[in-house]
Structure 1
Amino acid sequence: MNNEHSEWEDKMKEKPFSNNHFTPQMIKHVEDRVRTQTPFFKRWMIYTAALPVLAGILFLGYHIWDRVPEQQPLTQAVNTEDVPASEEVEVVTFPSTNGEEVQLPLQITKAELSLDNSDLAGNNDTESFKLAEMSYKIPPEMKDKLQAVLVYRTDMIGGYLLLAPIGWEASAIVGANGSYGVTLTDPSNKEQTLVYSDTAGSCQGCAISSIGTYFPDKAGWADEQGFTVYDPLSFTEWSQPGTAGEDARTAFYTTSVKEGYYHKGVAYYEKDAGGQWYLFRQLKFKLSEEQQVRDDRHDIVMDFFEAHHGPLIVSSVNAESINNAIPVKMDPGTILTYRLDPESKLTYDLKYDKSYVRSQQPQVNEEAVDIEGRAAEDAYIESLKESVKDLPVIDLGYDLPAPAPGIVVMYGSDGYINRVYNEDENAVNENP
């Protein structure tokens, strides 16, 4: 270690370290390094000077862009090659409260059948519908807030029309017992719905219990019929448009909030003179408690329903099929009469006789529903479905006459034919 230290001391005494001098070789080397680094140094100086300019341009551009936000959507325009051509929107024309016309978009929905009767005469396409001239007046400011909803089914000729908030999506169904309805859902909040339901005279217990629920003064009567209202509703609003006739069987209501939502709707019921037949229908909003501010859309939707004591019934134009063959099934209570028009061509008239339908309804009694027995029957039927699913199906058909002038066809409460006769002759067929 001492020898190495001594040698190092000797080296330090030599040039360039002695007297702080550099050798010529080292000076030349340093000069060469400076020359090679000069271009980099110049570039660095240029970049340094340019940075403030670039920052100023970016700052100016940002503030100019920020001042014209209305042009931003233009930069997000979707390539037209990727956008399908818009479909023509069906509309329904209503008279306006200001004397002009209001056109509402029309949503057409096919009801799903719990029992497949699609082979029967009915609506197989939406072009067969012909909407009558509307008489209900719509405020002009509702043009972009409401829509008309047409619901049809393939096992019957005809449909029904409701109003609903625009954009709400419809889904309709027909129950196995004949009751039917449609649900419209708010796409922005799937919990918010508009539901129309109709017992259609099929379930008397359902109708009576509903009457007792939505008409509190009828709760005692429902209890006497054997359908006690065990869970009465709490109404914050309840009113009737009148005290006689159909108005006395109509009620507007609003329920109290429960789990963040409340219901607002209109209910209506019918009965025959003997009190043996009842029908209940209602249109009901389910709304978030955050939307308890009065909404004109809701009022007009319910008022349209109240004006018709239900939905507006719509007939379909299916003259060719009816003229060629007597339909096996029609709307309950339909009376189909064939005749000749002024040009001696075969045509027909359709009427709806409610009293005829009601006369066929079973009498209401106080016997309690056998829930366990019903469940056992349903289980037995389900057990048979698997064993018979592959058996051949034989269509026995109906022995019906060909359409001719004077032929009258009467349809029962289930929509099927009860009687066929000629106005000028005796009955042709009854309960085929």
Structure 2
Amino acid sequence: METVVEGRAFYQGDLIECCIGIEGGKIVSIKKVLKGEKHYNYSSKLILPAAIDAHVHFRDPGLTHKEDFQTGTIAAAFGGVSCVFDMPNTLPPAISSETIKEKLDSVTKKAWIDFGLFGGCVSSFKPESIANMVIGYKLFMSSTTGVLLVPDDQSLTKIMTSVSKTGKVIGVHAEDERMIRKLPEKNLLDHDRNRPIEAEISAIEKLVSNFSENRVHICHISSTRSLKSIRGTKFTTEVTPHHLLLDNTCELGAFGKVNPPLRNRNERELLFEAFIRGKFDIIASDHAPHTIEEKEDDFDIAPCGMPGVETTVPLMLNLVRRDLIDLKTFTKCACERPAEIFGLLKGKIEVGFDGDLIVVDHKKIERIKAENLHSKCGWTAFENYEAIFPRALFVRGMLVMEDRSIVGERIGRNVVVKGEKS
């Protein structure tokens, strides 16, 4: 056996003492006793599947003063994430075979963990031309960071119809542009009023009415009222830690400015209750970093978005410790469902799956500090929040992070190879 990882593994819904044998990057055996060329004994710690963050903006290429693929994947590794899906609103945007190839050529050599790229949807593009290069497609129904707004219903119908023919998932930023107000903003309450929940619901209802059979993934849902609109469809759903844990009364100023906005406390509590009851398919960070200087600008001018790829799993693990969610809910939303939705053999400790694992000391509780994080932006909305950071990360059986240090070599690869997901 090439590699054996020993500890208390979360296997088929239970914690069991076992050895996980990995060869060629895949889990090949799960037994009480195994011998390996490399044997990692974590007998006093938990072994969980590593997370898949299906929604990150690593700003590479073109906006690398905020983040790049090296700093982003390193931050992900420290956060217990073995695979990320990067969004297309970069400079230039990833919308054609040429721009996606250029992006792949640039970012692959920087990646410490596995990744997939979303292709951006614009009125003039042909999705089949990039289908063998992307993990899925991203459609923006409202203006936000970047220039990928789909401006009208005719373009929306054309895009949705053509993407459906590829068989791939289309992730949607669902806010109705027509309902977004452009009034001056001084705080998070103003931002919420300008981009109300009704704009999110309206966009989702339009998708449900016209494309209920499509493989649609609704990103960063901010209200349980939006969830109700999706019932009975094939749509999959995503929620972020900031919409679960923060509301529009928090004292973050423009550092809490995101799209869709943080909602009021009651909406947040209802969203959290839906999450712990298993009503969401996945949790994703929507890691969207900007520099401190950019966020310190006037509220109206400051860009929308916050970092999160390094803190999502630690925050969730602390919720597990506090018995607010169970391990099954955590692993389903952070690991299993992202892999299932996008067709990857990751996210489970099972024979035949990638050997993507995290090691967790559930007794080691830390406070999140921006100075200890690894994103280039240098700040976090979760300063001083309790968290449990993974002690080690394996990607395809290879140790990438241990004891809060990066080890080994850059091994990240594109999970979409020649049109086949690996």
TM-score scaled by structure 2? 0.21
Flag the structure with more relative contact order, 1 or 2, with Cα contacts below 8 A and sequence separation at least 6: 2
TM-score scaled by structure 1? 0.21
